[in-house]
Amino acid sequence: MTKNILSLFLMVFFFINCNAQEEIKTISTKELKILLSKENVQLLDVRTPIETKFGYIESALFINYFNSDFVEQAVNKLDKEKPVYVYCRSGKRSAKASKLLKEKGFNVFDVLGGYNQWTKENQK
């Protein structure tokens, strides 16, 4: 019985650890603004070309999440040695894109609220 309890405990511990490792780190748009003012970061905009015509965050690299070769383009254009900050319009696509990039070995931060939140906080 003790072996069964120990085995169950180890399985639960392993399951919790695996899920914790899969979590994507996040950053607020306020934190991103501070970071951008201090460092040269890899900022990835995963919106469509039409969406970017309405504005974008300076220094962003554009790779449309809906492109069939999104992951391939990202792997070829981004540096795995540096963190990647990912944003979209509202945060849904960037979360999906962040997961794909994390699976490829990138250190990813999903920008919460996306460009909508960025513009809300940075209106002049």
Strands 42-45 and 25-27: unpaired
Q: How far apart are CA 111 and CA 24, in angstroms?
A: 10
Query: Which fold, 24-121?
Result: Oxidized Rhodanese; domain 1 (3.40.250)
Q: How far apart are CA 105 and CA 80, in angstroms?
A: 7
Q: At what angle do helices 70-77 and 92-103 cross, to 10 degrees?
A: 60
Q: Which helix (H) or strand (E) holds 87?
A: strand 84-87
Query: What string of pLDDT tens digits covers the 124 residues of the chain?
Result: 555 554 444 444 444 444 444 689 999 999 999 999 998 999 999 999 999 999 999 999 999 999 999 999 999 999 999 999 999 999 899 999 999 999 999 999 999 999 999 999 987 6
